[in-house]
Amino acid sequence: MHEKLEAIEQRYSELEQLLSDPNVMDKREEWLNMSREMAAISPIVELYRRLTEIEREIQEAEEMLADSSEDEMSNYLRSEVDSLAAEKDKLDAELKELLLPRDPYDDKSVFIEIRAGTGGDEAALFAADLLKMYARFAENKNYKVEIVDSHPTNIGGYKEVILGVEGKGAYSYLKFESGVHRVQRIPSTESGGRIHTSAATVAVLPEVEDVEVDINPQDLRVDTFCATGPGGQSVNTTQSAVRITHLPSGVVVSCQDEKSQLQNKEKALRILRSRLLDKYISEQTAELAETRKTMVGSGDRSERIRTYNYPQNRVTDHRINLTLHKLDLVLNGDLDDLVEELIANERSEKLKETGA
């Protein structure tokens, strides 16, 4: 670990010199990239320098202890060594976590695709509940949210809805939500008062720039059609809705929530880039499945990840065996306890993988 830390500190010193060079300051893009790199490694360098200082202080105290013949001074030095050793262990643990490989998409904005699963109208209503939950969670984080595309039902649910969450770090908080979410409750349409089980699937995709996923316009088939559902007088009479098919992969994206065909096309292309990236990541993960552990569960969207039980006001995340009896708060966007435990579990798994 020390070799890696030394290399990072050396790179930090290089960046300090480069960023003070007037020639580099004139190159805005290069200067910004180096500033971001320096900011990213700065916490590591700060801890490493403190660790180096502590190791020096421990060595000096031990040398003084070896030469000391006075009981009072020896006791003081032993106490000092013990205190410094405890701080060293703490810094070692913090540095191991900081050196763990980061998910390259953690800082990205996201698209959350929610689809009603088994359960008919009740599943569609549950999809609407999940939409509200994620929107409130994102708003609590001061992220910008917008419904990118939706297919509502007549009773207030959604067959499918895509929520855009814009803000740095959105993916790092929401990436664990991909999978099957199960709900147990008495439907509002149920006269007999029986508890039903329904489900909805969630897919969280990092939003990527066009330079990150190269799409050849010749590989696209773009179809236009009349939008369906509420949206004003013109929604069902103009060809404003857009369907884009990526011919090499077969991925299809449609968008109809905007009145302008151009706006719908732009949104559809944003979603397409994210779906193509997700497809690539999924294929890559499948190829490495035999040699690489997954972070939380299998990541397979067919896997049930969480159960929301209304009668007991209970939510259970099956991947980490965490149960909370505050379903009402969770559905109101209070996902912090779940997210923090999932992030901690991911770190723990990564530490196991690296043998730290």
The per-residue pLDDT for 71 is 80
Query: Which whole number is the average pLDDT over 292-304?
Result: 47
DSSP string covering 148-207: EEEEE-TTS-EEEEEEEEESTTHHHHHGGG-EEEEEEE--TT-SS---EEEEEEEEEEE-
Domain limits, the chain: 2-98, 110-211+298-351, 217-285
Residue 29: which residues within 8 A CB-CB, separation 6 or more?
none
Report residue 241 as tokens.
């809705």
Phi, psi of 76 (to 5 degrees): -65, -45
Where are the alpha helices (H) located in the chain, listed in sequence order? 2-19, 22-25, 28-67, 71-98, 120-140, 170-174, 261-287, 327-331, 336-354
Torsion sign, CA atoms 132, 134, 139, 145: negative
Say which CATH architecture domain 217-285 belongs to.
Answer: 2-Layer Sandwich (3.30)
Residue 20 has pLDDT above 80, yes or no: yes
Query: Which whole number is the average pLDDT over 35-39?
Result: 89
The per-residue pLDDT for 104 is 83
Mean pLDDT of the chain: 86
Residue 309 has pLDDT above 50, yes or no: yes
The per-residue pLDDT for 54 is 95
Question: How are beta strands 196-206 and 179-185 bridged, if at all?
Answer: antiparallel
CB 213 within 8 A of CB 246: no
Measured CA to CA in angstroms, residue 210 lies from 29, 165, 291 at distances of 18, 18, 31
Residue predicted with more confidence, 126 or 286: 126
Q: For residue range 211-258, what is the model confidence (pLDDT) as tens digits?
A: 567 788 888 898 888 876 654 444 455 678 889 999 988 899 988 877
Best CATH choice for the domain 110-211+298-351 from the list 3.40.50.1370, 3.40.50.720, 3.30.1330.20, 3.30.70.1660 = 3.30.70.1660
pLDDT-based confidence at residue 295 (cuts at 50, 70, 90): very low
Chain-centroid distance of CA 285 in Å reads 17
Cα–Cα distance measured from residue 62 to residue 56, given in angstroms and rounded to the nearest whole number:
10
The per-residue pLDDT for 99 is 86
SS3 301: coil
Minimal CA–CA distance to 265: which of 205, 323, 224, 231?
224
pTM over 0.75: no
Residue 303 has pLDDT above 60, yes or no: yes
The DSSP symbol for 109 reads -
pLDDT-based confidence at residue 292 (cuts at 50, 70, 90): very low
Cα–Cα distance measured from residue 54 to residue 82, given in angstroms and rounded to the nearest whole number:
12
Report residue 19 as tokens.
């960023």
Token pair 């404003």 in the structure block, residue: 240
Residue 70 has pLDDT above 90, yes or no: no
Residue 114 CB: number of other CB atoms within 10 A? Answer: 27
Residue predicted with more confidence, 70 or 210: 70
Residue 99: which residues within 8 A CB-CB, separation 6 or more?
1, 4, 5, 44
Amino acid at position 265, single letter: K
Cα–Cα distance measured from residue 31 to residue 38, given in angstroms and rounded to the nearest whole number:
10
Measured CA to CA in angstroms, residue 125 lies from 198, 251, 275 at distances of 10, 27, 25
Torsion sign, CA atoms 30, 36, 37, 39: positive
Where are the alpha helices (H) located in 68-119, listed in sequence order? 71-98
Cα–Cα distance measured from residue 221 to residue 246, given in angstroms and rounded to the nearest whole number:
7
The per-residue pLDDT for 100 is 82
DSSP string covering 278-331: HHHHHHHHHHTTTTS--SSS---TTSEEEEEETTTTEEEETTTTEEES-HHHHH
pLDDT-based confidence at residue 149 (cuts at 50, 70, 90): confident
The per-residue pLDDT for 297 is 41
Torsion sign, CA atoms 127, 132, 133, 138: positive
Cα–Cα distance measured from residue 67 to residue 51, given in angstroms and rounded to the nearest whole number:
25
The per-residue pLDDT for 216 is 86
Residue predicted with more confidence, 81 or 190: 81
